[in-house]
Structure formats: structure tokens, C-alpha cells
Amino acid sequence: MTDQSNTPEPPKTLLERAESMFGLGGYKPAKVPKELKKPVNRRPRRATPRTKATEAPLAFPPVPEDVAQPTPGAAPAPAPEPVYEDVEFSDTVHPIDRECLTRFGLIQPEGQVTALLEEFRIVKRQVLQSVRKAQAAGSGALAQRVLVCSPHPDEGKSYCAVNLALAMAAEKDSEVLLVDADFAKPSVLRMLGLPKGPGFMDVLAREDLKVEDCVLATDVAGLHVLPAGNHTTSDSEYLASHRTAEVLDRLTRGSPKRIVIFDSPPALAASPAAELAKHVGQAIVVARADRTGQSALEDALTLLSACPDLKLLLNAAHFSPSGRRFGAYYGEEP
């Protein structure tokens, strides 16, 4: 076994060496007094019963009697709803030149039922059905706007827009506003024989001009026309501004049954068509049977993709596989 008797003691601490040197007799904790002395710089608080006078906070001055006191728990008053002024079109009637309608091959409002009228009756039924469906889904005024466009020029988009407006004006439960939005090459006024005047682009460029003052009432019941106005070099920029939404809102304000049809520039020839597509509920892309190519049609649909509802309308088709002949039925004798 190992001898533990010669094991050296551990070194003493500094305090232990001081004790052995000065003979302090060891450290002991100080005695704790049973009762501590009362502080000399404080006065004892006496418990006093709280009264109504002492319950009021002394840190705030009294409120004058003439100042209205807020009612506890009262809800804040709701913000007043915005009040919009009524929008009414001019009552001055501008007659449509029937000879112009015949020269451009358009629908005659008071004429016989023709194959052309029957074709656009089918088109307007599809358009009105989409309008009602979009309104039921909560699209609001956006559902009342229809864009008529084509990929390239000379494919019949103005021809289809005017005929669609004339066919839709015959509806008993709605009215139509035809807007010439082809600012570079407007043709609606010429096709209808209406006088020139300020129009859509003038209203976008001038904030002091109201759009309803530029709308032309026609002698065709339920049909109004908004001219294109003066052409500028910033047509697309004006359409992209915040004023466009304000102007379009005035066209349908207070008239939930009014359909606004835009005759826009060709999608692949001018940029305003893509801007207008952001403000309409549906767009009709006119494809000419003997001219429009598939790639051009696909590119046009891509540019108009901001519109939630795109439709195709085949124009200048002279062959029907089913052999249908609209219009002749009404001319047959019983």
C-alpha cells in the first residue's frame, strides 16, 4: 500500500495565511439584528380609503365642459361613399347615311332580313351571352366592353365592328356605343356618313374635355358613336395612362345595359390594340378566310392575352360545308 502519512498539505490561500500571521482567530459571519433601523429619509404611508375624489387621476388637468367628450365604445363613423355625377349623352340626332351603308355592304336597319343580318345575329347572341356571364361573375363595367380587332389591315375588322353594332342596336333590352379607336386610320364615321368632330383621343389628351360631349346620337334607335378624334404620335402612351380608366368608366356609368364596341387598330400593325385589351371583357379577333395566316393569328392572340375572353370570327368565307343559307328563308312565300 502507498504511505499517506507523508502527503504534503495543499497550499494555503491568501486569507488563511493572513489569519495565521495576524492571529485573527478565524472568520465568522456577522450577527444579523432582529430589527432593522427605520430609514430616516422616508415617512411611513398610511392606508386611506379610496374615495371618488381620490380616484380621479391627478396627472391630467380637468377637461373644460364646453369640450365634447367621446362616447365610450362608440364605433367610428363610416366614410361617406363617393358621389358620381350623372353621365348623359347629347340628344342631338345625327342621321346615318343609308347610301353609305349600301356602298360599304353594311346592314340596313330598316331593311329586309338578309344573310348578313342573320350571321351577325348569331355573333351578337354569343357576345351578349358572354356579357351576362361576366356580369354575373362580378366583372362590372368591364363585361360591357367588347374589342373588335384583326391581326393585319384589310381583314374586315371595321366592317365587322360596324355590322355588330348595327345588329346589336336592334336589341330591346340593351343599347350600343360604337367607339372608333383606330386613331391612325379611322373609318367608322366615313362608313356611317357621320360628321367629323372631337373624339376618343381628344378626351384622353385633354382633361378639360368630357367624353359624353363627343358622343354622337344617331337616328338608329339604341346606337351611339364616339369618333376617334385627332391622331397624335403618343396614342399608345395616352391609352396606358390612368385617364383611360376614368374615361371608359363614364361611358357606362349608370347604364348597365349599354354595350361598348371598340374598333381598334390591327394588333400586329399598331400597339394600341394591346393596351385596349386590358380594359375590355372580351375581344373578337377577325380572321379573313383567304388572307389571315395561322402564325399571324397566334401572334395577335398573344398580344391580346390581357383580355380574359378571346373569340375568333371568320370573315369572307364563301363556302359552308353544311350548306346553310341564312336570309333566304324569310323571302319564301308560305
Span 126-151, pLDDT tens digits: 999 999 999 999 999 999 999 999 99
Q: For 70-91, what is the mean pLDDT?
A: 67
Query: Quick one: pLDDT band at residue 88, thresholds 50, 70, 90?
Result: confident
pLDDT of 182 strictly over 60: yes
What does pLDDT average to over the chain? 84
pLDDT of 185 strictly over 70: yes
How confident is the model at residue 48, as a pLDDT?
A: 56
pLDDT in tens, 307-323: 999 999 999 887 666 66
How confident is the model at residue 242, as a pLDDT?
A: 93
User: Interior CA angle at 249 toward 151 and 169, to 5°?
Assistant: 65
How confident is the model at residue 36, as a pLDDT?
A: 67
How confident is the model at residue 159, as a pLDDT?
A: 97
Query: Quick one: pLDDT band at residue 87, thresholds 50, 70, 90?
Result: confident
How confident is the model at residue 86, as a pLDDT?
A: 72
How confident is the model at residue 60, as a pLDDT?
A: 53
Quick one: cell of 16?
488563511
Query: Quick one: pLDDT band at residue 234, thresholds 50, 70, 90?
Result: very high
Nearest-angstrom CA–CA distance, 21 and 295? 110
End-to-end distance of the chain based on CA atoms, in angstroms?
A: 140
pLDDT of 31 strictly over 80: no
Instruction: Describe the crossing of helices 115-136 and 157-169 by its angle, rounded to 10 degrees.
Output: 80
Half-sphere exposure at residue 70, Cβ-oriented, CA atoms within 13 angstroms: 6
Fold of 93-317: Rossmann fold (3.40.50)
| Residue 94 phi, psi (nearest 5) | -110, 115
Query: Quick one: pLDDT band at residue 91, thresholds 50, 70, 90?
Result: confident
How confident is the model at residue 30, as a pLDDT?
A: 66
Nearest-angstrom CA–CA distance, 173 and 170? 9
Q: For 151-175, what is the mean pLDDT?
A: 96
8 versus 289: which is more confidently predicted?
A: 289
pLDDT of 214 strictly over 60: yes
Q: Which helix (H) or strand (E) holds 262?
A: strand 258-263
Quick one: cell of 42?
422616508
Query: Quick one: pLDDT band at residue 113, thresholds 50, 70, 90?
Result: very high
Percent of the chain with pLDDT over 70: 72
In the chain, what are the domain boundaries?
93-317
Confidence (pTM): 0.73
Q: For 271-288, what is the mean pLDDT?
A: 96
Quick one: cell of 289?
378566310
How confident is the model at residue 224, as a pLDDT?
A: 97
Q: Which helix (H) or strand (E) holds 94?
A: strand 93-94
pLDDT of 279 strictly over 90: yes
pLDDT of 50 strictly over 70: no
Query: Quick one: pLDDT band at residue 166, thresholds 50, 70, 90?
Result: very high
Instruction: Select, from the ranges 18-27, 44-53, 71-80, 108-117, the one with the highest average predicted confidence (pLDDT).
Output: 108-117
> b/e for 42-51, b at 16 or more Cβ within 10 A?
eeeeeeeeee
Within 10 angstroms of residue 177's Cβ, the number of other Cβ atoms is: 24
